Amino acid sequence: MIKKPELLAPAGNLEKMKMAILYGADAVYLGGKAFGLRAFGGNFSREELKEAVTFAHERNRKVYVTVNIFPHNGDLTGLPDYLKYLAQINVDALLVADLGVFMMCRELIPEMELHISTQANNTNWATVNAWKKLGAKRVVLAREMSLAEVREIREKCDVDLEMFMHGAMCISYSGRCLLSNYFTGRDSNRGSCAQSCRWKYALVEETRPGQYFPIEEDERGTYIMNSKDMCLMPNIRDVIESGVDSLKIEGRMKSVHYAASVVKAYRLAIDAYFADPEHFTVKQEWLDELEKVSHRTYTTGFYYHQPTAEDQIYGKTSYDQTSEFVGLVRSYDAATGWAVVEQRNNMKLGQEIEVFQPTGPLYRQTITAMENEDGEAIEVAPHPQMILRMKMEQPVEPYTILRRDVTSVKQ
C-alpha cells in the first residue's frame, strides 16, 4: 500500500509560513538569518524561528530549518551556538549539504533529525544509502532525475526520500552555480544568488569590445539560460506512486499568494488521490489555480525526458499569472457580514474579486461597500497595507485571500 506523502512547503518569512500551514502543508522548510541558501528571502530571526515552531506544533505540523550552505572557514563562526539553539526550540529537522556541517550536527545535537539537501547532488542509490549509514533520516533527491531513477532509488533504499514537484528550475547542477559569484561576487553556494541565469545576454567578439551581437535574430535579445518552472500536477499520480515520502514545493522567495495557492492545489490533489486512487483524475480547477500565481511557463523538467529547447524561455524574463492578490482578511463579523481586510493592492468599488479561503469554498463577489478605519465610506483602497472593512456576501475565514483577475504581469 502506498504511503501518503508529506506535502512540504516553502516559507520565506513568518506570514508565508503561517499561510502555508493554514492552506494545507504538512511541513514547512525555512531559514534563519544565516547558514541557509536564501540570504534575500526574508528569513527568520531567532524569536521568529521559535514562534514558527510553536505555531506549527500547535497544529501538528513540522518545521525544517535549512543549514545547507557550503561554508568557508569564516562561515563556521557561530554555527555551533546556532545549532544548539535550533535543538533547544524543538525544530523537527535540519537540511544540510556539507559533510562538515553534517558531522558537526551529529556531534553537537545527536538527537536532531538530519535531511540531506538537494545541493549535495543526490542522484543515485549508492549516495542515498551512504548518507543513511552516516545517520541521515531523509535525502532530498536532485532535480536532474527521471521518474525511472526515482523509482529505482526507492526500491534500493530504506530511507525517507524527498523530491521537488513544483517551482523554479535552476540552470546549474542541483543549484550549485558559479555564475552569480563570477559576475557579482555574490556566492550562490553561500546563500546570495543574483539569479544571473535569468539575465539577457548578447555575444561580444574579443577584438571588438563594446559591440554586442544578438545570439538569435530577435530584437528583444535572448535569455539563453532561463528555464521554465517545474509543475508535476498533471502527473501527480506518477509522483505519488513513485513512493517518495515528501513532495516539495520550491519558492521561499515567492509571495504569500504563491504559498497559499500552490499548497492548496496540491493538498486537494493528494487528498483526492488517496480518497479514491482507482478513479482519480487531475481536476482542471487545480491546474487553473497554479496559473493564478506568478510563474514562468511550466515544464516537467527531467522527470520524463532530458530537457530540450522546449523547456527554456528564450524570448523574455517576465512572469505570467491570471490573478492578482488585492487583500487579506484579518477577521470577519458574522452578525454584520463585514470583514476587516488588509489591503495588498489597489481595489475599488464595483470590481469583481475572488474569495480564496484556507478551507472554505471559493466564490466570487463584487465589492459593494468599503469603510476606512474611522468608519467612513470609501470608494477606493489605494494605500499599501491599509486596514479597511469590506462587506462580504458570504462568511469568510481569517487569512482568506482576496484577488482579482488579470491577464499577465511583468516582474
Instruction: Give the per-residue pLDDT at 410.
Output: 41
Instruction: Give the per-residue pLDDT at 217.
Output: 43
DSSP string, 265-303: HHHHHHHHHHH-GGG----HHHHHHHHHSSBPPEE-TTS
Q: How far apart are CA 357 and CA 361, in angstroms?
A: 7
Q: How far apart are CA 274 and CA 115, in angstroms?
A: 26
Instruction: Give the per-residue pLDDT at 189.
Output: 60
Q: Judge whether 209 and 294 are in contact, CB under 8 Å.
A: no
Instruction: Give the per-residue pLDDT at 192.
Output: 63
Nearby residues of 1 by Cβ (< 8 Å), 6 or more positions away: none
What CATH class has 6-173+228-311? alpha beta
Instruction: Give the per-residue pLDDT at 135.
Output: 98
Instruction: Give the per-residue pLDDT at 303.
Output: 82
Quote the mean pLDDT of the chain.
88
CA-CA distances (angstroms) from residue 134 to 94, 127, 385? 15, 11, 48
The string of pLDDT tens digits covering residues 336-383 is: 999 999 999 999 999 999 999 999 999 999 999 999 999 999 999 999
Instruction: Give the per-residue pLDDT at 252.
Output: 86
Q: How far apart are CA 122 and CA 159, in angstroms?
A: 13
Name the amino acid, one letter, at 172. Answer: S
Look-up of cell digits 494605500: 383
Q: Judge whether 114 and 136 are in contact, CB under 8 Å.
A: yes
Q: How far apart are CA 282 and CA 234, in angstroms?
A: 6
Instruction: Give the per-residue pLDDT at 411.
Output: 38
For the chain, the structural domain boundaries read: 6-173+228-311, 323-405
Low-confidence ranges of the chain (pLDDT < 70): 37-42, 170-183, 185-199, 201-203, 213-226, 308-319, 407-411
Across the strands, what pairs with 221? none
Q: How far apart are CA 331 and CA 341, in angstroms?
A: 7
The set of cell numbers assigned to 241 is: 506512486
For the chain, the residue count is 411
Q: Judge whether 142 and 121 are in contact, CB under 8 Å.
A: yes
- Secondary structure of residue 93 in the 3-state scheme: strand
Name the pTM for this structure.
0.85
Instruction: Give the per-residue pLDDT at 408.
Output: 39
Residue range 323-405 in CATH 2.40.30.10 = yes
Nearby residues of 359 by Cβ (< 8 Å), 6 or more positions away: 397
Q: Judge whether 272 and 280 are in contact, CB under 8 Å.
A: yes
**Closest by CA position to 138, among listed 106, 168, 94:** 94
Q: Judge whether 397 and 17 are in contact, CB under 8 Å.
A: no
Same fold, 6-173+228-311 and 323-405: no
